Amino acid sequence: MKISLVQDQAIAARMALIVGADNFDRLFRGVQFDEFDGTVMYVYAVDEYRAAEIEDTFVMVLPQKLKQERDV
């Protein structure tokens, strides 16, 4: 199921509450919550470095370039 823009913004707002403003601004700016497939939510970070830190600290995240490969 594709996530709508409103749902993407709602998830981002909830993540900001969970991780705090400093972490959100540093790590989650530009993150796209793209698709929900069963128990997996596809989330794309701006770059590999942010994706790695988000994954190490919070949840598993994929870098944006993998979305482009998945869309093909």
The model's pLDDT over 6-64, given as tens digits with 9 standing for 90+, comes to 999 999 999 999 999 999 999 988 889 988 888 788 888 889 898 888 888 887 666 67
Say if residue 72's pLDDT is above 70. Answer: no
Q: Which distant-in-sequence residues (6+ apart) come within 8 Å of 31 by Cβ?
A: 12, 15, 43, 44, 45, 46, 50, 54, 61
Q: Provide the whole-model pTM.
A: 0.72
At residue 68 the predicted structure's pLDDT band, cuts being 50, 70 and 90, is low
pLDDT at residue 70, rounded to an integer: 64
The CATH code of domain 5-71 reads 3.30.300
pLDDT at residue 25, rounded to an integer: 92
